[in-house]
């Protein structure tokens, strides 16, 4: 069985990535950071999602020798010139508090009319392995920021993001519905054939 390391400690993100990747890449065993000896994870210091994803993937590869996948993702709000962007997880401070991030973002958009509340969830997913060229893909989900927090599913900004064509937030969608349209799902489905080819699946 081929093994690949997913460089994440975020349990919900790990579940989402495993759920999408495993059926597409037969015979793959997806390990999380909890399955390997601890190492110093790099700070997300790059100005782009792609840069941070590559940074995390290369750190995982260097520490473990395993082919490694890492993602960096966030919400980019039109009225805030694309912010929070790469700062999404730390928007309200270094504690990475999802609820505080959501409350802060809603407050910042309080006076923004509905027609100007457009936003995108963006994910960059990197795949690196020894002696091979890096692979990196981008997925995007367009939608808008609603005016209150709704739903109990998902994580991060899902409770305030409504994808185009839906009248529910991504936190109110079923797992299957969200996986079909999510930024991370799109990126992973693009990356999966590259992973399968590289690992000989």
The catalytic site residues sit at 72
**Angle at 27 (CA atoms; ends 10, 2), nearest 5 degrees:** 75
Asked if the bond preceding 64 is cis, omega within 30° of 0, the reply is no
Q: Is 201 annotated as a binding residue?
A: no
* 200 burial via Cβ count (<10 Å: 0-12, 13-18, 19+): exposed
H/E run at residue 121: strand 118-128
Q: Is 8 annotated as a binding residue?
A: yes
Q: Is 56 annotated as a binding residue?
A: no
Q: Is 179 annotated as a binding residue?
A: no
Q: Is 99 annotated as a binding residue?
A: no
Q: Is 101 annotated as a binding residue?
A: no
Q: Is 12 annotated as a binding residue?
A: yes
Residues 121 and 49 sit within 8 Å (Cβ to Cβ): no
Residues 42 and 36 sit within 8 Å (Cβ to Cβ): no
Q: Is 81 annotated as a binding residue?
A: no
Q: Is 148 annotated as a binding residue?
A: no
Q: Is 39 annotated as a binding residue?
A: no
Contacts of 173 by beta carbon, 8 Å cutoff, 6+ apart? 151, 153, 154, 163, 166
In whole angstroms, give the CA distance from residue 29 to residue 195: 12
Q: Is 134 annotated as a binding residue?
A: no
Q: Which two tokens stand for residue 158?
A: 């899902």
Q: Is 102 annotated as a binding residue?
A: no
Q: Which value, to the nearest 10 degrees, does the dihedral of the CA atoms of residues 82, 13, 47, 58 take? A: -160
Give the residue ranges of the annotated binding site for substrate: 8-13, 73, 155-158, 178, 183-184
Annotated binding residues for Mg(2+), as ranges?
Answer: 72
């Amino acid at each position: 069985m081929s093994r690949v390391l997913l460089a994440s400690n975020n349990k919900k993100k790990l579940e989402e990535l495993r759920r999408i990747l495993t059926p597409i890449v037969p015979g793959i065993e997806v390990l999380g950071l909890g399955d390997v000896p601890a190492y110093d994870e790099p700070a997300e210091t790059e100005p782009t999602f792609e840069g941070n994803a590559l940074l995390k993937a290369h750190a995982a590869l260097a520490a473990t020798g395993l082919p490694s996948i890492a993602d960096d993702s966030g919400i980019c709000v039109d009225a805030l010139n694309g912010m929070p962007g790469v700062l999404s997880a730390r928007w309200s401070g270094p504690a990475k508090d999802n609820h505080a991030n959501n409350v802060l973002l809603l407050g910042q958009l309080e006076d923004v009319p509905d027609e100007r509340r457009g936003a995108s969830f963006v994910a960059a997913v990197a795949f690196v392995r020894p002696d091979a060229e890096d692979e990196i893909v981008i997925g995007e989900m367009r939608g808008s920021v609603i005016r209150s927090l709704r739903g109990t599913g998902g994580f991060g900004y899902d409770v305030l993001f409504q994808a185009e064509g839906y009248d529910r937030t991504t936190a109110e969608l079923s797992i299957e519905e969200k996986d079909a349209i999510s930024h991370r799902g799109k990126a992973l489905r693009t990356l999966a054939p590259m992973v399968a080819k590289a690992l000989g699946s």
